[in-house]
Every structure is written in C-alpha cells, then in structure tokens.
C-alpha cells in the first residue's frame, strides 16, 4: 500500500492552456513519463528522476543550451514560441521512439519564452536496459523533436539584427 503523501509516478503532464486543452495529456504507454513545454527553467535532475527505472542499465541525457553565437554572429538572447499543437507532435515523436527502441523511460521538456545565454532550452532523457539502446533512443528523440515539433526560435544579435529560425 502506498502512503498518500508520497509522490507517485504519473504518465500525465499538464498542457498549458496556450498549447492545448489544459487537461492532462495521458498516454497508455507508461514508458513516456514526462513531456512538457514551459516558460520556467528546465532541470536535468527532473528528467533523470522521471526516467528512473529498476529495469534500466543505461541512462542517456541530452541538454541543449543557448549559445552565444550562430554562424559567426554574436547572439545576445533568444526566445522560443510554440505552435498550439506542439505538445501533440512531441507526444507523437515520443511514441515513435518507444516503438522503435527498448525504452524503459522517456522524458522531454522544452523551454518557451525568452532565454539568456547559457540557459537550458531543451532536456531529453531516455533509460533502457543497455547503453546502446539508451543512446540510440535519445538520439532519435532529440533529432525528431528538432525536426518535427513546431517550435520557433527568435535570435537577437549584438548588431541589433534578429532572425526567426525554424519558422
């Protein structure tokens, strides 16, 4: 029996009203532990905790941060915006990853809003029985997230110029 004061693992994530219904995003696949788009800072520890699993022998975590340059230009800051269906597409990507790899746990969180240089923009994590599977699944997760999830980056440069990436 579980003490009701102890946190319990959940497969639901709150969908912010700007990105969906505001209702929990529930999946029947308990390997997908955390999917979120948020304005608050990201935590690698949160992702690692979400993918914890006693069956896992390999854990792979990727953190993407805001860098101070892009294609030879100095970046001062950037902002991310998400399409209202971005979380739904992130869910589809996650489902494809767990279908393709022997994943124990999967989590992906991406920032939206304005970020400073050095801040984490995305954190993804995967646990699997062995390291090769964890690496392969994490690589597929971040690559497909970047390619398919409708998130747009607005970069601002030291020369006063700005550009949208991925729009």
Which pLDDT value is given to residue 167? 67
CA atoms within 13 A on the CB side of 138: 24
Mean pLDDT calculated for residue range 61-75 = 96
Q: Which of 124, 136, 133 minimizes the C-alpha distance to 43?
A: 124
Which pLDDT value is given to residue 28? 55
Residue 27 included in any domain? yes
Question: How many domains does the chain divide into?
Answer: 1
Model confidence at 23, pLDDT cuts 50, 70, 90, reads very low
pLDDT at 8 over 60: no
Could you list the residue range(s) of the whole structural domain that residue 130 is in? 13-165
Q: Read off the pTM.
A: 0.82
Residue 7 included in any domain? no
Element (H, E) at 48: helix 44-51
**Per-residue pLDDT reduced to its tens digit, 73-100:** 999 999 999 999 999 999 999 999 999 9
Return the CATH number at 22: 3.90.1170.40
Which two tokens mark 83? Answer: 């399409």
**Per-residue pLDDT reduced to its tens digit, 102-134:** 999 999 999 999 999 999 999 999 999 999 999
Residue 73 included in any domain? yes
Exposure letters 84-112 (e unless 16+ CB within 10 A, then b): eebbbbbbebbbebbeebbbbbbbbbbbb
Distance CA 143, CA 63 (A): 13
Q: What are phi and psi of 51, to 5 degrees?
A: -95, 0
């Amino acid at each position: 029996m579980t003490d009701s004061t102890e946190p319990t693992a959940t497969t639901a994530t709150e969908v912010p009203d700007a990105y969906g219904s505001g209702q929990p995003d529930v999946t029947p696949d308990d390997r997908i532990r955390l999917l979120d788009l948020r304005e608050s800072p990201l935590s690698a520890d949160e992702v690692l905790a979400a993918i914890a699993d006693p069956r896992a022998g390999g854990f792979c975590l990727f953190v993407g941060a805001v860098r101070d340059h892009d294609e030879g230009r100095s970046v001062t800051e950037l902002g991310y915006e998400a399409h209202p269906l971005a979380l739904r597409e992130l869910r589809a990507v996650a489902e494809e990853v767990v279908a393709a790899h022997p994943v124990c746990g999967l989590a992906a969180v991406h920032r939206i809003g304005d970020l400073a240089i050095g801040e984490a923009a995305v954190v993804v994590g995967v646990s699997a029985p062995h390291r090769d599977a964890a690496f392969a699944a994490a690589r597929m997760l971040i690559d497909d997230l970047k390619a398919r999830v409708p998130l747009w980056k607005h970069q601002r440069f030291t020369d006063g110029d700005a550009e949208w990436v991925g729009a």
